[in-house]
Amino acid sequence: MTHQDDKPVYVTQPFLPPLEEFIPYLEDIWERKWLTNNGHYHQELEKSLCEYLGVKHISLFSNGTLALITALQALRITGEVITTPYSFVATTHSLWWNNIKPVFVDIEPQFFNIDPEKIEAAITPKTTAILPVHVYGNPCNVERIQEIADAYGLHIIYDAAHAFGVKYNSSSLMNWGDLSVISFHATKVFNTFEGGAIICHDERTKKRIDFLKNFGFAGETTVVAPGINAKMNEIQAAFGMLQLKYIDKAILRRKEITNFYRDNLKNIPGISFFDECPNVVHSYTYFPITIDSAIYGKTRDDVYSELKAKGIFTRRYFYPLISQFPTYKGLPSSNRENLPVANAVSEKVLCLPLYPDIEYDTMKKICHLFHF
């Protein structure tokens, strides 16, 4: 066994540009002595991301979860919010931190996003908004969700944590909904170590969001809301500027890896994965497969454990469902009968390692293990 084979392989590895290229940014920050509070790089990154993503306004945050919590505050969302149990737990936590009751609606079986046809039945007089997630960067049925929101007078906030750079019908997916929230966590396609942002469509909302992330300050002595401290600092923002130079290359590499998996895992009975969605430009955030144990002969958990024993750490995104965590288990909508598709998918899904620096031999080894 070579040393290479001993190295554990994780589901993801953060993309880092060459360290020496970051030093000049640090020197500049030391020179400016402005470390946070809408500094030079903060402004640069907001501008550059608007251009890169093709969105009107963006407000940077210290992480995606605080951006979600603040997005709900910005629109004064209260009461009940309709959301999906098939996501990272922060989606629902953001409701809890705002004292909002989550109402879980099942997912559709094609892309594992919230099923729009099941939303209306979950609306009550207390419902004020819908919080869907573009899971794995595959767009929700945004047209149908907008129709429902318009008919019932509801807000839409998309958790777009997986959707950096995704385009739908040639426009940023984040142009849909009232607000979209994105994460720049180390494990995401575009990272600033930790980080996040809210995307909005008008200047007034952008201003309110900017107040809220800075304690509610609207001027030196004016506080207009009980805001929080969720500002992105200059080191994070400068790092984002450097990352932007590499992002296209990183996404292209993700596409190549995705295609490799697709070519090498096709025609295995019991193993399925998504095809490219029509009218979508992807950024290849994850490579999830589903394992039908009756056909494949092994369960998802068998495969997960076997790979783990060989040093390959896949992740069961998303298992358990958010509705199964103790905080949310007691909610009426967490009932298994209410969420049959989400429960079934969460027991057969597995995300394979996908990151720009993954080695060819590692991918080959992973695929080989599926042809047992």
Ligand X SMILES: *Cc1c(COP(=O)(O)O)cnc(C)c1O
Strand 171-172 relative to strand 127-131: parallel, antiparallel, unpaired? unpaired
Q: How far apart are CA 289 and CA 268, in angstroms?
A: 11
Q: How far apart are CA 209 and CA 199, in angstroms?
A: 10
Angle 243-11-59 from CA coordinates, rounded to 5°: 35
Q: Where are the beta strands (DSSP E) in the chain?
A: 9-10, 57-61, 80-83, 101-104, 127-131, 155-159, 167-168, 171-172, 179-183, 196-200, 271-273, 280-281, 287-291, 312-313, 349-352
In the numeric block, the tokens 């994850």 are attached to 286
Q: Which residues bind ligand X (CB under 6 A)?
A: 63-65, 87-88, 90-91, 133, 159, 161-162, 183, 185, 196
What are the φ/ψ torsions at residue 309 (nearest 5 degrees)? -60, -25
Of the pair 75, 131, the CB lying nearest ligand X is at: 131
Q: How far apart are CA 268 and CA 337, in angstroms?
A: 31
Q: Please, what is the minimum distance in Å from the beta carbon of residue 182 to ligand X?
A: 8
User: Both tokens of residue 44?
Assistant: 């640069």
Of the pair 80, 159, the CB lying nearest ligand X is at: 159
Closest residue to ligand X using C-beta atoms: 64
Residue of 167, 188, 213, 348 marked active site: 188
Name the helix (H) or strand (E) containing 295.
helix 293-296
Q: Please, what is the minimum distance in Å from the beta carbon of residue 297 to ligand X?
A: 31
Q: Please, what is the minimum distance in Å from the beta carbon of residue 194 to ligand X?
A: 6
Q: How far apart are CA 15 and CA 7, in angstroms?
A: 18
Of the pair 310, 316, the CB lying nearest ligand X is at: 316
Of the pair 185, 300, the CB lying nearest ligand X is at: 185
Of the pair 64, 116, the CB lying nearest ligand X is at: 64
**DSSP letter assigned to residue 195:** -
Of the pair 133, 366, the CB lying nearest ligand X is at: 133
- Could you confirm whether 308 is annotated as catalytic? no
Q: Please, what is the minimum distance in Å from the beta carbon of residue 59 to ligand X?
A: 14
Q: Please, what is the minimum distance in Å from the beta carbon of residue 136 to ligand X?
A: 9
Q: Please, what is the minimum distance in Å from the beta carbon of residue 33 to ligand X?
A: 28
Taking alpha carbons only, the member of 129, 114, 117, 238 closest to residue 178 is 129
Residues annotated as part of the active site: 188
